[in-house]
Structure 1
Amino acid sequence: MKIKAAVFRDDSGVPSIEELDLTGPGPGEVLVRITATGVCHTDLKSAGAGSPVPKPTVLGHEGAGIVEEVGAGVSKVAPGDPVVMTFDSCGACPSCRDAQPSYCHNTNHFVSSRPQSEYYLKADGEPVHGDFFSQSSFATHAIGTERSVVKVRDDAPLEQLGPLGCGVQTGAGAVLNEFKMKPGQTLAVFGSGTLGLSAIMAARISGAARVIAIDRHAHRLELAAELGADDTILAGNEPIDEQVLDLTGGGVDFTLDTTSVPEVMSQAIQVLAPRGTCAFVTGAWDGSPLPVPIRHLVGGGRIIRGIGEGGSNPDVFIPRLVDFFMDGRLPIDRLSTKYAFEDIAQAFHDSHEGDTIKPLLMMG
């Protein structure tokens, strides 16, 4: 079938909207007509130089849409079902068997495991890389696997739900699934983009006693306060760690870094109270090392850990997030700005500059 897709052919980060040929779903696969898709910073990084993603490629991994066709053996969804697309997993490794698919041993989100002869996207016969997070949803249609699509309730506004498959899931899941925050506990969030703001909203759902938001954009901190942050700190003034320690009188129970900036990550460790946990949900692609203050950790029983995709089991967690959105406790629509699909370059620019928190590309 013929589809329209945003094709990244070089490291400029600027795509062209092209007509591609898309093969139908194979065994275990699902064809989704995309309603809308979010733009994530991982897309921005993957489009540029230094990315592990081969070109030409179609990116996009926060798609939501309607199932049009299913391949042999698919039973979880059927044509006509509204779905959110998310990350894939093998279903057979120790993590998947333990209902922890976000830590799958066998999935590479950035490079297709298919031989080039079996690529399902082609431009005038030329293979185009797809399978990005088992989606490549910067397109009018996308192929996912049965494990990478989640059916959602019919009454939810599908055009708002794509970010639940990655950014919102990652931030909210860190708090709800991995920290398992309890009423009365405290949290400092470094970075007030989609991940950070989702964590702030989740902390409020958890009954947090105090939530501190840190960012370098004043307008993002204003939104963080509206969504539940008790205190906001504008980066670039006084040392952040001193401000957090002054506010809390000794540190917080949890810190979440969403910036992947080593200097900021170090501050997230320093502001932990004894027995506190610091988590990183993204990392520098160049593999930059991070100095670790061992005495600070050992002396206070502090923990540093990584969290992937919010520790989510999507079939369980995404419907839960939809329910939170529908009852008003997770107003993710406050984060988004809608763009026509043809304006994807502008959406990328606005996201990179920090002007837009969560661009949503509308497919018409």
Structure 2
Amino acid sequence: MKTRAAVAIAPEKDLEIRELELDEPQAGELRVRIVATGVCHTDAIIRDQWYPVPLPVVLGHEGAGIVDAVGPGVHGFAVGDKVVMGPAHCGACQQCVAGHPMYCVNFYDQNFGVRRADGSSAFSAAGVPVGSHFFGQSSFAQYTNVAAGGAVKVPADAPLEILGPLGCGIMTGAGAVLNVLKPQPGSSVAVFGTGAVGMAGMLAAKAAGATTIIMVDIVESRLEFAKELGATHTVNSKTTDAVTAIKEITTGGVQFALDTTGVPAVFTQMTNSLATRGHAALVGAAKLGTEAKIDIGTQLLAGINVHLVIEGDAVPREFIPRLISLHQQGLFPFDKLIKTYEFEQINQAFSDSADGSTLKPVVLF
């Protein structure tokens, strides 16, 4: 069948909307009609080739849609089911069976290989393959074939227009807090970066009962928005020393901290702001080879714990419904981070995300 898709063709170039041929769903796949899909920083860095993913390719990895066809060997899904797509994982390796599928030993091939295991692609143009199965889904397309193992069935009344980001960006920030840091009620949390991932982490910290929530950034308008969403303190690290400010607010150091930026200097600030035996997590992506400093001599005595976290260390089929439930109860209002765009505006969505004018762009089909 034919489908329209936004194709990444070259680094730092706009995506091109093209008509492509989509093959039939293969074993272990669903064909999904995409209703909405988030635009994520990871889409931009793959477009720009921070990681060597073959081009051309249909990106998109925060898709939400309706099952249009069920491939051979797939159970638990039917045509008409509403689904949100998380990252692909093999389901059989040691990490997957241990309940940590985001650390699947085949994660890179499954999500960045942009081909099926047999080398085929779901998309083609004039008989020439176009990369598919990015994060198991390539959701920048009206119809796409997705890895059924990464799909999460959601209730029939679920608002698909806002749910796509739960499959990556929102899951990453919230999961790093709820699944890895696990702040107790009454604890202190600092979040570095007020993008969608950082704001999701802040909302998760609030839902967990943290009572001191410090947001750190250099954009004052975003810091003000963070206050509206529940931050108890903000620090503009462009004008204020963040480590000093956090230690003053917390009387010695923060118990939990999250770096969503991937900026080496910010990572160092985060580790230096921790209290004794504090726990920090890094989720921000950086170019391969990026290094950050940590004062081993001092931090060894502090006994801090630093986690590097992928996709919030989530089990999507458990965690995405959990986030939906929190949202329904008014405890996780992630929809306030979203601005929607028509499919034809997808490059504007990328631009607005890059300059910070939109926290979480969602493209509607």
Question: Which residue does 2:10 correspond to in 1?
Answer: 10
Which stretch of structure 1 is more off in the superposition, 146-155 or 158-167?
A: 146-155
User: Is 1:212–2:214 an aligned residue pair?
Assistant: yes
Question: Which residue does 2:73 correspond to in 1?
Answer: 73
- Per-residue CA distance 1:278-332 (angstroms, 9 max, x = gap): 1101231232111221123211111111111111001111001111111211111
Which structure 2 residue ranges, 5 or more long, are not aligned? none
Question: Which residue does 2:204 correspond to in 1?
Answer: 202
Question: Which residue does 1:288 correspond to in 2?
Answer: 290
What is the DSSP-based 3-state SS (H/G/I as helix, E as strand, rest coil) of the residue aligned with 1:286?
A: coil
User: Is 1:101–2:115 an aligned residue pair?
Assistant: no
1:23 and 1:120 in contact (8 A); partners too: yes
Cα RMSD for the two superposed structures? 1.2
Deviation at 1:115, TM superposition (A): 6.5
User: Is 1:132–2:147 an aligned residue pair?
Assistant: no
1:336 and 1:357 in contact (8 A); partners too: yes
- Per-residue CA distance 1:176-235 (angstroms, 9 max, x = gap): 111121111111000011111111111111110200001122221122112111001122
Deviation at 1:238, TM superposition (A): 1.8
- When the two structures are superposed, what TM-score results if normalisation uses the length of structure 2? 0.97
What is the DSSP-based 3-state SS (H/G/I as helix, E as strand, rest coil) of the residue aligned with 2:112?
A: coil
Aligned pair count? 363
| CA distance, structure 1, for counterparts of residue 137 and residue 224 of structure 2 | 33
**Structure 2 counterpart of 1:89, which letter?**
H
Which structure 1 residue ranges, 5 or more long, are not aligned? none
Question: Which residue does 2:250 correspond to in 1?
Answer: 248
User: Kindly, what percent of the aligned residue pairs are identical?
Assistant: 45
2:35 and 2:65 in contact (8 A); partners too: yes
Question: Which residue does 2:332 correspond to in 1?
Answer: 330
Question: Which residue does 1:181 correspond to in 2?
Answer: 183
Deviation at 1:145, TM superposition (A): 1.2
Question: Which residue does 1:92 correspond to in 2?
Answer: 92
- When the two structures are superposed, what TM-score results if normalisation uses the length of structure 1? 0.97
| CA distance, structure 1, for counterparts of residue 182 and residue 303 of structure 2 | 18
Deviation at 1:76, TM superposition (A): 2.3
| CA distance, structure 2, for counterparts of residue 213 and residue 115 of structure 1 | 42
| CA distance, structure 2, for counterparts of residue 312 and residue 116 of structure 1 | 28
**Structure 2 counterpart of 1:246, which letter?**
E
Question: Which residue does 1:352 correspond to in 2?
Answer: 354
Question: Which residue does 1:304 correspond to in 2?
Answer: 306
**Structure 2 counterpart of 1:240, which letter?**
A
User: Is 1:162–2:164 an aligned residue pair?
Assistant: yes
Deviation at 1:6, TM superposition (A): 0.3
Deviation at 1:142, TM superposition (A): 1.7
User: Which of residues 111, 114, 129 in structure 2 aligns to 1:112?
Assistant: 114
- Per-residue CA distance 1:219-265 (angstroms, 9 max, x = gap): 21122112111001122102111111111111111110000000011
1:257 and 1:265 in contact (8 A); partners too: yes
**Structure 1 counterpart of 2:40, which letter?**
C
1:13 and 1:44 in contact (8 A); partners too: no
1:297 and 1:303 in contact (8 A); partners too: no
What is the DSSP-based 3-state SS (H/G/I as helix, E as strand, rest coil) of the residue aligned with 2:257?
A: strand
CA 1:148–1:223: 2 relative to 1, 3 Å: same
2:216 and 2:234 in contact (8 A); partners too: yes
2:115 and 2:131 in contact (8 A); partners too: no
**Structure 2 counterpart of 1:2, which letter?**
K
| CA distance, structure 2, for counterparts of residue 70 and residue 293 of structure 1 | 53
